[in-house]
Amino acid sequence: MSVKNEDLLSPFRFSNGITLKNRMVMAPMTNFSSNPDGTVTDAEVYYYARRSAGVSMVITACTYVTANGKGFHGEFGGDRDEMIPSLRRIAEAIQQQGAKAILQIFHGGRMCPPELVPNGEIVSASDIPAERGGVSTEEPNINPRALTEEEVQEMIKAFGETTRRAIEAGFDGVEIHGANGYLIQQFFSPHSNRREDRFGGSLEKRMTFPLEVVNEVKRVVRESAQSPFLIGYRFSPEEPETPGITMGDTLKLIDALADKDLHYLHVSLMDFFSTPHRGVEDLSKSRIEYLLETINDRVPLIGVGSIYTAEDARKAFATGVPLLALGRELIIDPDWVQKISENRENEIVTKINKEKQKELVIPDPLWNAIINSPGWFPGV
């Protein structure tokens, strides 16, 4: 290994004693490849195994915690105990290659396609349709139904129950998906949350649901895990809607989360070095800089976003983030970490090779999504 990559390949120890062999993590990415009943397919298991040998930790695609939370065709389920053997297949495929396996737990809220949820009924914090990229926008006459206060309590418990299933399936941790416009973010957002009970209103009240999900997941881990088990939380820093989450709002949420004794926070960014749009004084300072300042070493932050080359990773790591996640790049080149460790970084592939689907072990549904979405992946 080259001296310049030593830091990227150095071990990292979480506060609960779990140690990662290096600083590189596989980011959670939807692959659309599970069976209609929510069980995982062989193709999906092979896809994870192919990408788990170099990185130290793999965060899976999101799994839904209730039947009405399924956000994607071909998403695997964690909403009932019958899914534990299916979940175990993914955990074991990752761990057999030497990486820690983290299950991302989620509910799609107003972004769920109605054909995937019971009775086609989409639920959210309030009955406000999504403005962009949401099913409630694309489908005529579909508004989400606001969850009752009792249902919100049941939803919090559902995140805990799926955490228990992750423990029973042998995962090393869970990541609470509070990003990308899904249900947890919908409760935090002033656009989607217009509630007047204790779960809505002021910024502090809009933080209630995310923080209570964290508390419930922690409680379940305390009671059910026999060995150290990681809890992470993923968030998106801003929303384009007005009203919407600003960078300033997110820094308040992150400040609260940093005091929750979580094992890591994980920002969701398309570009690691992106700058804020509103809500903070200096818009030229990167979001990562603001986050690191607010966190102030209380909890590790995973950075992500368009990191393709070794140089990209070194530049990102130099900001002070202790862990880096690779998303699209690990689909393009599953051997990225091995190439760095073997002084072969000049062999890293940074554009998808359209002739190598089989060699890259990419399931057909994900492959079709990549090939038919120009601009999503370099080379397409």
Instruction: Let me know: does 379 contact 354? Beta carbons within 8 Å.
Output: yes
Q: How far apart are CA 367 and CA 211, in angstroms?
A: 36
At 156 the pLDDT is 98
Closest CA to 373 of 347, 357, 352: 352
Cis peptide bond upstream of 190, omega within 30 = no
pLDDT per residue as tens digits for the range 17-45 = 999 999 999 999 999 999 999 999 999 99
pLDDT per residue as tens digits for the range 194-226 = 999 999 999 999 999 999 999 999 999 999 999
At 141 the pLDDT is 67
Q: How far apart are CA 47 and CA 2, in angstroms?
A: 29
Would you name the residues annotated as active-site residues?
A: 182
Instruction: Let me know: does 24 contact 11? Beta carbons within 8 Å.
Output: no
At 338 the pLDDT is 98
Q: First CA to last CA across the chain, in angstroms?
A: 32
Instruction: Name the strand (E) or helix (H) holding 336.
Output: helix 336-341
Other Cβ atoms less than 10 A from the Cβ of 84: the count is: 16
Quickly tell me which residue has 């926070």 as its tokens: 265
Q: How far apart are CA 248 and CA 259, in angstroms?
A: 17
Calculate ∠ Cα 40-57-366, nearest 5°. 40
Name the β-bridge partners of 175: 104, 232
Instruction: Let me know: does 73 contact 116? Beta carbons within 8 Å.
Output: yes
Instruction: Let me know: does 310 contact 340? Beta carbons within 8 Å.
Output: yes
**What is the SS3 assignment for 57?**
strand
Torsion angle, alpha carbons of 293, 297, 300, 302, to 10: 20
Domain boundaries, the chain: 3-371
Q: How far apart are CA 136 and CA 86, in angstroms?
A: 30
Cα–Cα distance list, 21 to 3, 29, 177, 346 (Å): 17, 22, 24, 23
At 1 the pLDDT is 62
**The CATH classification of domain 3-371, taken from the options 3.40.50.300, 2.40.100.10, 3.90.230.10, 3.20.20.70:** 3.20.20.70
Quickly tell me which residue has 């193709």 as its tokens: 43
Other Cβ atoms less than 10 A from the Cβ of 345: the count is: 18
Q: How far apart are CA 50 and CA 37, in angstroms?
A: 24
133 Rama class: left (phi>0) / alpha (psi -120 to 50) / beta = left
Quickly tell me which residue has 């799609």 as its tokens: 108
Measured in degrees and rounded to the nearest 5, phi and psi for residue 39 equal: -85, 155
Cα–Cα distance list, 85 to 77, 78, 92, 164 (Å): 11, 10, 11, 13
Q: How far apart are CA 250 and CA 252, in angstroms?
A: 5
**DSSP β-ladder status, 19-20 and 12-13:** antiparallel
Cα–Cα distance list, 37 to 42, 46, 78, 115, 212 (Å): 14, 19, 11, 13, 29
Name the β-bridge partners of 104: 62, 175
**What is the SS3 assignment for 169?**
coil
In the DSSP assignment, the letter for residue 18 is: -
| Each residue's pLDDT expressed in tens, for the chain with a length of 380 residues | 678 899 999 999 999 999 999 999 999 999 999 999 999 999 999 999 999 999 999 999 999 999 999 999 999 999 999 999 999 999 999 999 999 999 999 999 999 999 999 999 999 999 999 987 677 667 766 889 999 999 999 999 999 999 999 999 999 999 999 999 999 999 999 999 999 999 999 999 999 999 999 999 999 999 999 999 999 999 999 999 999 999 999 999 999 999 999 999 999 999 999 999 999 999 999 999 999 999 999 999 999 999 999 999 999 999 999 999 999 999 999 999 999 999 999 999 999 999 999 999 999 999 999 999 999 999 99
